[in-house]
A = this chain, B = another copy of it.
């Protein structure tokens, strides 16, 4: 089956748009999605950035917030800017890795992005994420314990290394089985199309 890997960081605004549409857009073309959380921090850090480029570059940041509001409106999804940006996405990313193994990563990812950029809530702490996990009918204490175990930490680190190896430099990104990389929420359809038409 043709498939794409969807690389996202929970701190990324545009990844919210992609997360809400990825499953549907891919399914319409018979393409599967591997949901792959990673951390932008080490990638940005290697470029000398210690903050989001949307905070470092004022005009780019002003544009992004306006663009997000327009795009969310066009997609018919809620958008509210959270007080803190970017939020620390480490724990959410580790939890998503647990969900990847257990089949609830898509639901967790959509719920976490909606909390953050749909409702403007904080998603950085264990308390914030416990609320989300509980709302999905999961045992939050158990999930948190596994997410913060040595294996849990390693999973997100390995994913970030794999993202770098795949040439990923921003989020969201999409990769295909034959090594094509697409960057940006507005390239989701092209990535899916590539996967569908170049399937082995």
What is the interface of chain A, defined by CB distance below 8 A to chain B? 43, 47, 57, 59-60, 62-63, 66-67, 70, 164, 167-170, 180-184, 186-187
Contact of A57 among B47, B60, B70 (CB under 8 A): B47
Tell me if A181 and B60 are in contact (CB < 8 A).
no
Other A-B pairs, 18, CB within 8 Å; known A47-B57, A60-B169, A66-B180: A43-B59, A57-B169, A59-B164, A59-B167, A59-B168, A59-B169, A60-B170, A62-B167, A63-B167, A63-B169, A63-B181, A66-B181, A67-B182, A67-B183, A70-B180, A184-B186, A186-B186, A186-B187
Nearest 10 Cβ contacts at the A-B interface: A59-B169, A60-B169, A59-B167, A186-B186, A47-B57, A63-B181, A63-B183, A62-B167, A63-B167, A57-B169
Q: Contacts of A66 on B, CB cut-off 8 Å? A: 180-181
Write the chain B residue with the least CB distance to A164.
Answer: B59
Q: How far, in whole Å, are A182 and B64 apart by their CA atoms in the complex?
A: 10
Q: Contacts of A170 on B, CB cut-off 8 Å? A: 60
Q: 11 A-B pairs, CB-CB below 8 angstroms?
A: A43-B59, A59-B164, A59-B167, A60-B169, A60-B170, A62-B167, A63-B167, A63-B181, A63-B183, A70-B180, A184-B186
Which of A43, A57, A59, A182 has the most chain B CB atoms closer than 10 A to its own CB?
A59
